[in-house]
Chains A and B, each alone.
Chain A
Amino acid sequence: AQSVAQPEDQVNVAEGNPLTVKCTYSVSGNPYLFWYVQYPNRGLQFLLKYITGDNLVKGSYGFEAEFNKSQTSFHLKKPSALVSDSALYFCAVSYPGGYQKVTFGTGTKLQVIP
C-alpha cells in the first residue's frame, strides 16, 4: 500500500524568507511524486512532479522540490516566500501500474506573514 505523510499541519514563514513544506512517502517500487496547491474555495492546482531523472524538480510559481530516495522524502521549497503563497499544500504519491491513482497527504497550511 502507498502512503504519504505531511508532518506539519501548518507552517508559518515571514515574507522574503525561504520556505519548506515537508513530505515523506511509502510505496512499493519507484514512486511518482506530486505537489498540489489549493487556494480557499478552489480545487487543487498542480505545482510539480517527480517521475524520474534529476532529483531536483522545478515547478510553477518559483517552487521546487527535492526527491531523496534514501530518506523517502519529497520536500517542497521556495527561496523567497510571498504573501500570495499562503494556501494549503498537498503532497501526493502514485506508482507504476497504479492507473494514475494517487494518494494524497493530509495537507499543510502555509501562512506567509507580511
Chain B
Amino acid sequence: NAGVTQTPKFRVLKTGQSMTLLCAQDMNHEYMYWYRQDPGMGLRLIHYSVGEGTTAKGEVPDGYNVSRLKKQNFLLGLESAAPSQTSVYFCASSYLLGQGYNEQFFGPGTRLTVL
C-alpha cells in the first residue's frame, strides 16, 4: 500500500496563477483533510471531507476550493495564488470505526512558494 500520496512535491507560482494539489489514498478511508503548516502556527485545517461528494470548510478556507469526486482522491485548488499562501500543504485521511476516533494518516507534503 502506498498510503497517502501527494502531487506535486514542490511548486513555485507567481501571484495570480492557479494550481491544483492532488491527494490520493489507497486505504479506503472515509475522511480526508487538507492542512497547511506554517512556522510557529502548527497545522491548520483548510477543508475536509467526510465522504465521496461531500466537502466542508475548516479553520482557514478562504482562497481555496476542494473537490472529492472519488473516494480515494481529494483535490485542493488555488484559483488565484497569493504570497500569503506560501506554505507546506499536507493531506491526511482517516477511517471510521464504531464510535472511536482514529488517527490520521498523512501524506509527505507539498511545498508551495508564491512569488
Contact = CB atoms under 8 A, between A and B. Distances in A.
Given A44-B43, A106-B41, A106-B42, A100 B94 contact: yes
Interface string A23-61: 000000000101010000111111001010000000000
A17 B74 CA distance: 43
Nearest to A47: B103
Contact of A49 (B48, B56, B101, B107): B101
A90 B42 contact: yes
B42 A49 contact: no
Interface size for chain B: under 10, 10 to 19, 20 to 34, or 35 or more residues?
20 to 34
Contacts of A107: 42
B45 A43 contact: no
17 contacts: A9-B40, A32-B101, A34-B103, A41-B108, A42-B109, A44-B43, A44-B104, A44-B106, A46-B105, A90-B42, A90-B43, A96-B101, A99-B50, A100-B104, A102-B45, A104-B44, A105-B42
Interface of B: 4, 31, 33, 35, 40-45, 48, 50, 56, 58, 90, 92, 94, 96, 99-109
